[in-house]
């Protein structure tokens, strides 16, 4: 039997994909991403919406920023966080849709 050629990811890309999924594999970061999917927010606003301390939110935002899932911009003295790009938004929508489908959420 002839085997089809299967393409593998480049090792560096593979590691980056693993790190990407590690960055979102946390309930606190999922809550933050879901809040930012809906609105751009400050650390204080995120803290209020997700029920976490500002310190914990800041820590998670640092990790999410390093993974390039969120970005921020300064508006006067405020720092506003938002999802980094449409890919993150779409990926999050796809993940939620997939989980709802496989676990029969209504």
- Domain presence at residue 43: yes
28: in domain: yes
Domain region containing 83: 17-102
Residue 100 has pLDDT above 80, yes or no: yes
Structure confidence at residue 73 (pLDDT):
98
Mean pLDDT across 64-85: 96
pLDDT value, residue 1: 64
pLDDT in tens, 14-68: 999 999 999 999 999 999 999 999 999 999 999 999 999 999 999 999 999 999 9
The CATH number of the domain holding residue 52 is 1.10.10.10
Residue 3: its pLDDT value, please? Answer: 81
Question: 8-44 burial string, b = 16+ CB within 10 Å, else e?
Answer: eeeeeeeeeeeeeeebbeeeebbbbbebbeeebbbbe
Q: Is residue 2 part of a domain?
A: no
Residue 5 lies in a domain: no
């Amino acid at each position: 039997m002839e085997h089809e050629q299967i393409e593998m990811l480049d090792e560096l890309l593979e590691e980056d994909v693993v790190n990407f999924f590690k960055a979102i594999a946390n309930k606190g970061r999922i809550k933050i991403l879901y809040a930012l999917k809906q609105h751009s927010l400050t650390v204080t606003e995120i803290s209020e919406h997700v029920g976490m301390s500002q310190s914990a939110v800041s820590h998670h935002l640092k990790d999410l920023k390093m993974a390039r899932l969120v970005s921020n911009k300064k508006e006067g003295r405020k720092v506003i966080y938002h999802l980094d790009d449409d890919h993150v938004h779409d990926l999050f929508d796809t993940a939620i849709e997939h989980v709802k489908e496989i676990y029969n959420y209504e």
